Structure 1
Amino acid sequence: MKFFAILATAAVLSPIAAVAHDAIDVVDAYARGANPKAGAAFMVLDNHREVACTLVGVSSDAAAKTKLHTHTEVEGVMKMHAIEGGIEVPPGSKHALQRGGDHVMLMGLTAPLEDGMTVALTLDFGDCGTQKIDVPVDNQRADDHAQTPHDDHAAHEGHEGHEGHADH
Protein backbone atom coordinates (compact mmCIF):
# COMPACT_ATOMS: atom_id res chain seq x y z
CA MET A 1 0.00 0.00 0.00
CA LYS A 2 2.87 2.37 0.83
CA PHE A 3 4.41 1.68 -2.57
CA PHE A 4 1.23 2.85 -4.36
CA ALA A 5 1.09 6.03 -2.27
CA ILE A 6 4.69 6.84 -3.20
CA LEU A 7 4.03 6.04 -6.85
CA ALA A 8 0.88 8.21 -6.87
CA THR A 9 2.79 11.11 -5.27
CA ALA A 10 5.59 10.80 -7.83
CA ALA A 11 3.06 10.78 -10.69
CA VAL A 12 1.41 13.93 -9.37
CA LEU A 13 4.71 15.78 -8.81
CA SER A 14 6.35 14.82 -12.13
CA PRO A 15 4.30 17.25 -14.26
CA ILE A 16 5.09 20.02 -11.77
CA ALA A 17 8.82 19.40 -12.16
CA ALA A 18 8.46 19.39 -15.94
CA VAL A 19 6.51 22.65 -15.89
CA ALA A 20 9.03 24.28 -13.55
CA HIS A 21 11.82 23.51 -16.01
CA ASP A 22 9.80 24.53 -19.09
CA ALA A 23 10.94 28.12 -18.95
CA ILE A 24 13.52 30.70 -19.91
CA ASP A 25 16.22 30.85 -17.24
CA VAL A 26 18.12 34.11 -16.87
CA VAL A 27 21.68 33.37 -15.81
CA ASP A 28 24.59 35.59 -14.75
CA ALA A 29 22.73 38.90 -15.07
CA TYR A 30 24.42 42.18 -14.19
CA ALA A 31 24.11 45.86 -15.08
CA ARG A 32 26.65 48.65 -15.54
CA GLY A 33 26.32 52.39 -15.58
CA ALA A 34 27.76 54.07 -18.67
CA ASN A 35 27.20 57.59 -17.35
CA PRO A 36 24.67 59.16 -14.94
CA LYS A 37 21.91 58.96 -17.59
CA ALA A 38 22.57 55.61 -19.32
CA GLY A 39 23.50 52.04 -18.53
CA ALA A 40 23.17 48.51 -19.85
CA ALA A 41 22.19 45.07 -18.63
CA PHE A 42 23.76 41.77 -19.65
CA MET A 43 22.71 38.16 -19.08
CA VAL A 44 22.42 34.73 -20.62
CA LEU A 45 18.97 33.55 -21.70
CA ASP A 46 18.63 29.76 -21.45
CA ASN A 47 15.52 28.42 -23.20
CA HIS A 48 14.33 25.13 -21.69
CA ARG A 49 11.06 25.25 -23.60
CA GLU A 50 10.21 23.11 -26.61
CA VAL A 51 9.48 26.20 -28.71
CA ALA A 52 11.53 29.22 -29.72
CA CYS A 53 11.00 32.26 -27.51
CA THR A 54 11.73 35.81 -28.64
CA LEU A 55 12.74 38.57 -26.24
CA VAL A 56 10.69 41.37 -27.79
CA GLY A 57 11.18 44.01 -25.14
CA VAL A 58 12.31 44.96 -21.65
CA SER A 59 10.85 47.48 -19.24
CA SER A 60 12.14 49.01 -16.02
CA ASP A 61 11.14 51.75 -13.61
CA ALA A 62 14.86 52.58 -13.36
CA ALA A 63 14.92 54.19 -16.83
CA ALA A 64 12.72 56.34 -19.03
CA LYS A 65 13.48 54.04 -22.00
CA THR A 66 14.72 50.49 -22.32
CA LYS A 67 15.70 49.03 -25.67
CA LEU A 68 17.32 45.91 -27.04
CA HIS A 69 20.58 46.92 -28.72
CA THR A 70 23.44 45.28 -30.55
CA HIS A 71 26.75 46.22 -32.13
CA THR A 72 27.57 45.78 -35.82
CA GLU A 73 30.65 46.71 -37.79
CA VAL A 74 30.13 49.45 -40.37
CA GLU A 75 33.15 50.36 -42.48
CA GLY A 76 35.55 49.07 -39.83
CA VAL A 77 33.86 50.85 -36.91
CA MET A 78 31.61 49.16 -34.36
CA LYS A 79 28.23 50.94 -34.16
CA MET A 80 25.45 50.36 -31.67
CA HIS A 81 21.80 50.31 -32.78
CA ALA A 82 18.37 49.07 -31.70
CA ILE A 83 17.39 45.49 -32.53
CA GLU A 84 14.24 45.29 -34.63
CA GLY A 85 11.98 42.28 -34.08
CA GLY A 86 13.57 41.07 -30.85
CA ILE A 87 16.09 38.36 -29.99
CA GLU A 88 15.01 34.80 -30.74
CA VAL A 89 16.25 32.01 -28.47
CA PRO A 90 15.67 28.63 -30.16
CA PRO A 91 14.36 25.71 -28.06
CA GLY A 92 17.05 24.13 -25.92
CA SER A 93 19.50 26.97 -26.69
CA LYS A 94 21.22 29.84 -24.91
CA HIS A 95 21.74 33.41 -26.07
CA ALA A 96 24.21 35.74 -24.37
CA LEU A 97 23.45 39.42 -23.99
CA GLN A 98 26.98 40.67 -23.52
CA ARG A 99 29.23 43.69 -23.84
CA GLY A 100 30.13 44.34 -27.46
CA GLY A 101 27.05 42.38 -28.64
CA ASP A 102 23.35 42.16 -27.91
CA HIS A 103 22.33 43.86 -24.65
CA VAL A 104 19.59 45.79 -22.86
CA MET A 105 20.13 49.55 -23.01
CA LEU A 106 18.79 51.67 -20.14
CA MET A 107 18.34 55.32 -21.15
CA GLY A 108 17.17 58.23 -19.02
CA LEU A 109 18.09 56.58 -15.73
CA THR A 110 16.12 57.77 -12.70
CA ALA A 111 19.39 57.51 -10.68
CA PRO A 112 22.97 56.63 -11.60
CA LEU A 113 23.72 52.90 -11.44
CA GLU A 114 26.00 52.37 -8.45
CA ASP A 115 27.66 49.16 -7.31
CA GLY A 116 25.50 47.21 -4.89
CA MET A 117 22.18 48.46 -6.31
CA THR A 118 19.74 46.21 -8.12
CA VAL A 119 17.71 47.08 -11.18
CA ALA A 120 14.27 45.51 -11.60
CA LEU A 121 13.63 44.44 -15.20
CA THR A 122 10.60 42.86 -16.81
CA LEU A 123 11.58 40.74 -19.80
CA ASP A 124 8.82 40.36 -22.42
CA PHE A 125 9.10 37.09 -24.34
CA GLY A 126 5.89 37.66 -26.34
CA ASP A 127 3.93 34.39 -26.60
CA CYS A 128 6.31 32.84 -24.04
CA GLY A 129 5.23 35.33 -21.35
CA THR A 130 7.00 37.86 -19.18
CA GLN A 131 9.60 37.40 -16.49
CA LYS A 132 10.58 39.79 -13.70
CA ILE A 133 14.20 39.76 -12.56
CA ASP A 134 16.38 41.80 -10.20
CA VAL A 135 19.73 42.56 -11.76
CA PRO A 136 22.71 43.51 -9.56
CA VAL A 137 24.79 46.52 -10.60
CA ASP A 138 28.47 45.66 -10.96
CA ASN A 139 30.45 48.50 -12.53
CA GLN A 140 33.75 46.80 -11.71
CA ARG A 141 33.02 43.55 -13.54
CA ALA A 142 35.60 42.76 -16.19
CA ASP A 143 34.39 42.00 -19.68
CA ASP A 144 33.99 38.25 -20.10
CA HIS A 145 34.54 38.48 -23.83
CA ALA A 146 37.37 40.07 -25.79
CA GLN A 147 36.35 43.36 -27.31
CA THR A 148 37.05 44.21 -30.90
CA PRO A 149 39.72 46.84 -31.55
CA HIS A 150 37.01 49.30 -32.63
CA ASP A 151 34.77 48.90 -29.58
CA ASP A 152 35.54 52.23 -27.96
CA HIS A 153 34.04 55.69 -27.53
CA ALA A 154 34.18 56.34 -31.28
CA ALA A 155 31.94 53.33 -31.80
CA HIS A 156 29.12 55.11 -30.03
CA GLU A 157 29.11 58.33 -32.06
CA GLY A 158 25.65 59.34 -33.10
CA HIS A 159 23.97 56.78 -30.85
CA GLU A 160 20.85 58.42 -29.45
CA GLY A 161 20.92 59.22 -25.77
CA HIS A 162 24.57 58.28 -25.23
CA GLU A 163 26.43 61.56 -25.14
CA GLY A 164 29.79 60.87 -23.49
CA HIS A 165 28.99 57.16 -23.48
CA ALA A 166 31.53 55.05 -21.64
CA ASP A 167 32.22 51.39 -22.37
CA HIS A 168 29.44 49.36 -20.90
Structure 2
Amino acid sequence: MNTRTTLFAAAVVLLAGCGVTTPAADPAPAASASAAAAAPAQALTITDPWVKAVEKGMTAAFGTLVNHTDSPITVTGAASPLSPEIELHEVVESDNKMIMRPKDGGFVVPARGSHELRPGGDHIMLMGVEEEVLPGAEIPFTLTVEGGATLEFTAIGKNFAGAKEDYQPGMDH
Protein backbone atom coordinates (compact mmCIF):
# COMPACT_ATOMS: atom_id res chain seq x y z
CA MET A 1 0.00 0.00 0.00
CA ASN A 2 2.83 2.44 0.84
CA THR A 3 4.40 1.73 -2.57
CA ARG A 4 1.14 2.67 -4.32
CA THR A 5 0.85 5.88 -2.31
CA THR A 6 4.44 6.80 -3.08
CA LEU A 7 3.98 6.06 -6.80
CA PHE A 8 0.76 8.09 -6.89
CA ALA A 9 2.45 11.05 -5.18
CA ALA A 10 5.37 10.87 -7.61
CA ALA A 11 3.00 10.77 -10.59
CA VAL A 12 1.14 13.85 -9.30
CA VAL A 13 4.42 15.75 -8.92
CA LEU A 14 5.58 14.75 -12.43
CA LEU A 15 2.25 15.62 -14.06
CA ALA A 16 2.10 18.97 -12.27
CA GLY A 17 5.44 19.90 -13.81
CA CYS A 18 4.30 19.06 -17.36
CA GLY A 19 1.67 21.73 -17.87
CA VAL A 20 2.77 25.03 -16.41
CA THR A 21 0.00 27.58 -16.81
CA THR A 22 -0.04 31.31 -16.28
CA PRO A 23 -3.34 33.11 -15.62
CA ALA A 24 -4.09 35.83 -18.18
CA ALA A 25 -4.68 38.30 -15.36
CA ASP A 26 -1.02 37.96 -14.30
CA PRO A 27 0.66 41.31 -15.04
CA ALA A 28 3.99 39.64 -15.84
CA PRO A 29 4.47 38.70 -19.49
CA ALA A 30 3.93 35.01 -20.18
CA ALA A 31 7.38 33.69 -20.96
CA SER A 32 6.34 30.03 -20.88
CA ALA A 33 4.90 28.14 -23.80
CA SER A 34 1.47 27.71 -22.22
CA ALA A 35 -1.16 29.89 -20.56
CA ALA A 36 -4.65 29.89 -19.05
CA ALA A 37 -7.79 31.93 -19.65
CA ALA A 38 -8.77 34.73 -17.28
CA ALA A 39 -12.44 33.85 -16.77
CA PRO A 40 -13.27 31.23 -15.81
CA ALA A 41 -9.81 30.61 -14.35
CA GLN A 42 -7.81 28.13 -16.43
CA ALA A 43 -10.84 27.09 -18.49
CA LEU A 44 -8.76 27.16 -21.69
CA THR A 45 -5.01 26.67 -22.05
CA ILE A 46 -2.62 26.21 -24.94
CA THR A 47 0.31 23.83 -25.01
CA ASP A 48 3.48 24.23 -27.06
CA PRO A 49 2.48 27.44 -28.89
CA TRP A 50 4.84 28.46 -31.69
CA VAL A 51 5.07 30.77 -34.70
CA LYS A 52 6.75 29.92 -37.99
CA ALA A 53 9.90 32.04 -38.37
CA VAL A 54 9.61 34.55 -41.23
CA GLU A 55 11.38 37.67 -42.52
CA LYS A 56 8.08 39.55 -43.02
CA GLY A 57 4.74 39.19 -44.78
CA MET A 58 2.62 36.28 -43.55
CA THR A 59 3.16 33.62 -40.95
CA ALA A 60 1.05 31.41 -38.72
CA ALA A 61 0.82 30.32 -35.08
CA PHE A 62 0.20 26.78 -33.87
CA GLY A 63 -0.24 24.78 -30.65
CA THR A 64 -2.90 22.70 -28.94
CA LEU A 65 -5.89 24.37 -27.28
CA VAL A 66 -7.09 22.45 -24.21
CA ASN A 67 -10.55 22.88 -22.64
CA HIS A 68 -10.68 22.12 -18.91
CA THR A 69 -14.47 22.58 -18.58
CA ASP A 70 -17.58 20.48 -19.11
CA SER A 71 -18.81 22.72 -21.97
CA PRO A 72 -17.38 23.46 -25.42
CA ILE A 73 -15.37 26.69 -25.76
CA THR A 74 -15.30 28.62 -29.05
CA VAL A 75 -12.28 30.78 -29.88
CA THR A 76 -13.62 33.69 -31.95
CA GLY A 77 -10.60 35.92 -32.51
CA ALA A 78 -6.92 36.59 -31.96
CA ALA A 79 -4.60 39.58 -31.55
CA SER A 80 -0.85 40.10 -31.39
CA PRO A 81 1.38 43.19 -31.59
CA LEU A 82 3.27 41.34 -34.35
CA SER A 83 0.44 41.68 -36.86
CA PRO A 84 -2.19 44.31 -37.68
CA GLU A 85 -4.44 41.64 -39.22
CA ILE A 86 -5.04 38.20 -37.72
CA GLU A 87 -7.59 35.60 -38.76
CA LEU A 88 -8.50 32.13 -37.55
CA HIS A 89 -7.88 29.89 -40.58
CA GLU A 90 -8.50 26.37 -41.77
CA VAL A 91 -7.03 24.40 -44.66
CA VAL A 92 -9.59 22.57 -46.79
CA GLU A 93 -9.79 20.89 -50.18
CA SER A 94 -11.48 22.90 -52.93
CA ASP A 95 -11.44 21.97 -56.64
CA ASN A 96 -8.86 19.25 -55.98
CA LYS A 97 -6.37 21.57 -54.27
CA MET A 98 -5.73 22.56 -50.69
CA ILE A 99 -6.60 26.15 -49.81
CA MET A 100 -6.65 28.12 -46.60
CA ARG A 101 -9.55 30.34 -45.66
CA PRO A 102 -11.06 32.02 -42.60
CA LYS A 103 -12.67 29.48 -40.27
CA ASP A 104 -16.40 30.22 -40.03
CA GLY A 105 -17.50 30.15 -36.39
CA GLY A 106 -13.96 30.02 -35.00
CA PHE A 107 -12.24 27.09 -33.34
CA VAL A 108 -14.50 24.92 -31.19
CA VAL A 109 -12.64 23.14 -28.39
CA PRO A 110 -14.82 20.28 -27.13
CA ALA A 111 -15.65 19.85 -23.44
CA ARG A 112 -12.72 18.23 -21.62
CA GLY A 113 -11.00 17.97 -25.00
CA SER A 114 -8.45 19.64 -27.22
CA HIS A 115 -8.18 21.27 -30.64
CA GLU A 116 -4.90 21.13 -32.53
CA LEU A 117 -3.61 24.13 -34.46
CA ARG A 118 -1.10 22.70 -36.94
CA PRO A 119 0.54 23.34 -40.30
CA GLY A 120 -1.80 22.13 -43.03
CA GLY A 121 -4.81 22.42 -40.71
CA ASP A 122 -6.41 25.00 -38.43
CA HIS A 123 -4.05 27.83 -37.49
CA ILE A 124 -3.84 31.47 -36.45
CA MET A 125 -2.93 33.46 -39.58
CA LEU A 126 -0.85 36.63 -39.19
CA MET A 127 -0.85 39.00 -42.19
CA GLY A 128 1.06 42.20 -42.79
CA VAL A 129 3.93 41.20 -40.49
CA GLU A 130 6.60 43.92 -40.75
CA GLU A 131 8.99 42.53 -38.14
CA GLU A 132 11.23 39.50 -38.65
CA VAL A 133 10.35 36.49 -36.49
CA LEU A 134 13.55 34.68 -35.59
CA PRO A 135 13.80 31.23 -34.04
CA GLY A 136 13.47 31.64 -30.27
CA ALA A 137 11.56 34.96 -30.50
CA GLU A 138 8.78 35.35 -27.94
CA ILE A 139 5.54 36.57 -29.55
CA PRO A 140 2.62 37.61 -27.31
CA PHE A 141 -0.93 36.64 -28.29
CA THR A 142 -4.42 37.17 -26.94
CA LEU A 143 -7.23 34.84 -27.98
CA THR A 144 -10.84 35.89 -27.45
CA VAL A 145 -13.48 33.30 -26.72
CA GLU A 146 -17.24 33.45 -27.12
CA GLY A 147 -18.56 35.47 -24.19
CA GLY A 148 -15.52 37.77 -24.10
CA ALA A 149 -13.02 35.86 -21.94
CA THR A 150 -9.42 35.95 -23.14
CA LEU A 151 -6.40 33.70 -23.16
CA GLU A 152 -3.00 35.39 -23.17
CA PHE A 153 0.08 33.38 -24.09
CA THR A 154 3.53 33.67 -25.60
CA ALA A 155 4.43 31.67 -28.70
CA ILE A 156 8.03 30.86 -29.59
CA GLY A 157 9.49 31.51 -33.06
CA LYS A 158 10.53 28.29 -34.78
CA ASN A 159 12.02 27.28 -38.13
CA PHE A 160 9.68 24.90 -39.91
CA ALA A 161 9.90 23.47 -43.42
CA GLY A 162 7.13 20.91 -42.78
CA ALA A 163 4.39 20.36 -45.30
CA LYS A 164 5.66 23.12 -47.61
CA GLU A 165 3.05 25.66 -46.49
CA ASP A 166 3.66 29.06 -47.98
CA TYR A 167 2.13 31.72 -45.77
CA GLN A 168 2.98 34.44 -48.25
CA PRO A 169 0.95 36.66 -50.61
CA GLY A 170 -0.41 34.79 -53.59
CA MET A 171 -1.46 31.63 -51.77
CA ASP A 172 -5.16 30.91 -52.23
CA HIS A 173 -7.05 31.87 -49.09
From the superposition, tell whether residues 119 and 76 of structure 1 become closer, same or farther in structure 2 (CA, over 3 Å). Answer: same
* Counterpart contact for 1:59–1:123, Cα < 8 Å: yes
* Same amino acid, percent of matched pairs: 28
Number of the residue aligned with 2:138: 118
Number of the residue aligned with 2:59: 39
2:169 is aligned with 1:163:
yes
Q: State the SS of the aligned residue for 2:88.
A: strand
> Which 4+ residue blocks in structure 1 deviate beyond 4 angstroms?
19-22
Structure 1 segment 5-154 matched on structure 2, within 5 A: 22-127=42-147, 129-140=149-160, 143=162, 147=163
Deviation at 1:110, TM superposition (A): 3.2
CA offset digits 1:110-137 (Å, max 9, x no partner): 3021112111100111227101101000
Q: State the SS of the aligned residue for 2:132.
A: coil
Number of the residue aligned with 2:6: none
Number of the residue aligned with 2:23: none
Q: Distance in 1 between matches of 2:153 and 2:59?
A: 17
Deviation at 1:22, TM superposition (A): 5.0
Bigger share in helix: 1
CA offset digits 1:3-50 (Å, max 9, x no partner): xxxxxxxxxxxxxxxx99751120111100355111100010110111
Let me know the Cα RMSD of the aligned residues: 2.3
User: Where does structure 1 lack aligned partners over 5 or more consecutive residues?
Assistant: 1-18, 157-161
* Counterpart contact for 2:119–2:165, Cα < 8 Å: no
Deviation at 1:80, TM superposition (A): 0.8
From the superposition, tell whether residues 20 and 100 of structure 1 become closer, same or farther in structure 2 (CA, over 3 Å). Answer: same
Q: Distance in 2 between matches of 1:118 and 1:27?
A: 15
Structure with the greater alpha carbon radius of gyration: 1
Deviation at 1:152, TM superposition (A): 5.4
Instruction: Between 66-75 and 121-130, report the one with greater CA deviation.
Output: 121-130
Q: TM-score, normalised by structure 2?
A: 0.69
User: Where does structure 2 lack aligned partners over 5 or more consecutive residues?
Assistant: 1-38
From the superposition, tell whether residues 37 and 127 of structure 1 become closer, same or farther in structure 2 (CA, over 3 Å). Answer: same
Amino acid at match of 2:143: L
Q: Distance in 1 between matches of 2:99 and 2:43?
A: 32
